[in-house]
Amino acid sequence: MIAVQEFNQVHFIEIDENADGQRVDNFLLKTLKGVPKSRIYRIIRKGEIRLNKKRVKAESKLRTGDSLRIPPIRLQQEDKQVDLSKFDKVQALESCIIEETNQFILLNKPSGLAVHGGSGLSFGVIEGLRALRPKEKFLELVHRLDRDTSGCLLIAKRRSFLTSCHEQLRCKKMRKEYLAVVSGAWNNQFNQVTAPLKKNQLRSGERHVTVDPEGKASDTRFKCLKRFKRHSLVRALPQTGRTHQIRVHALYAGCPLLGDFKYNDNPDEEKVAIELGLKTFLLHANKLTFNLPDSDKRLTFEAPIPPQMNNVIEKLKD
């Protein structure tokens, strides 16, 4: 990644294995942080980006050993990025790291922090980690978690690791385990929910997911771990990765997540959530299991349950 203050000079980047096979535009969007997307596509069209001394198209693929020329780019004052490394929330990510190797970072993501910036958010986990690890040439999300979901989040430090994990996700070899506090007594006849899910876009731009015969095939395995007087603690193992999948499948099973004000519209449950001090639902990715690339070795990591979730569970026991 090129620092903002260095955009005023020509750069020659030698492509390494982490960028092999990547599109030119995608590589530039990740490398030239702080440069508007429209500006990047404009300098590509004008021929100012050169690959091995030749003009190049946005969709052209990079190969290891290629030389990419990046021209001087003058930034307007308002275009310049804020130094995220000075933000307290970014610094706090350091203490959230469960495991770090030369291939990956495994993070216990806090609830309330998005995995990436956008939609009015100045930054997310990936921007924060790039600020904390400026010397890392490659940091990419292996998968995503909702902003209000906490727990295991895997970030690749090598393209080979990212490719391997995506293949494991596709072949259902990566195992994700979640814990959730739901409203009502969980019925064990819903230990597998396969209701198809359809993603809808509201006028506000907000995403809302519904069970719909025309939706995408979805599969979540549930198990009730503990029943309280009016609530339950359940384990969820998603076999597919649809938007809001666990939340909507729990709703379909008749036990929406406590504090999920989007999908749990029961006024009594809303009152309970407020009394418990909840501003959102309790969904925690507590375990993640995957293979290292080209290896049969299975690794399992666990993220401790957040204090607020523990506190709510203790209060529900009473």
Q: What is the dihedral of CA 73, 130, 12, 58, to 10 degrees?
A: -70
User: Of 32, 25, 22, which is closest to residue 62 (Cα–Cα)?
Assistant: 22
Quote the CA–CA distance of 9 and 211 in Å, as a whole number.
53
- The count of other CB atoms within 10 Å of the CB of residue 61 is 15
Tell me phi and psi for residue 285, to 5 degrees: -80, 90
Active-site residue among 25, 146, 148, 260? Answer: 146
Q: Which residues contact 249 (CB under 8 A, 6 or more apart)?
A: 193, 195, 197, 218, 220, 222, 236
Burial class (CB in 10 A: 0-12, 13-18, 19+), 34: middle
Active site residue 146: yes
User: Of 109, 29, 35, which is closest to residue 78 (Cα–Cα)?
Assistant: 35
Quote the CA–CA distance of 122 and 308 in Å, as a whole number.
25
Quote the CA–CA distance of 209 and 256 in Å, as a whole number.
13
Quote the CA–CA distance of 245 and 251 in Å, as a whole number.
10
Structure letter (DSSP) for residue 118: B
Which residues does the annotation mark as catalytic? 146
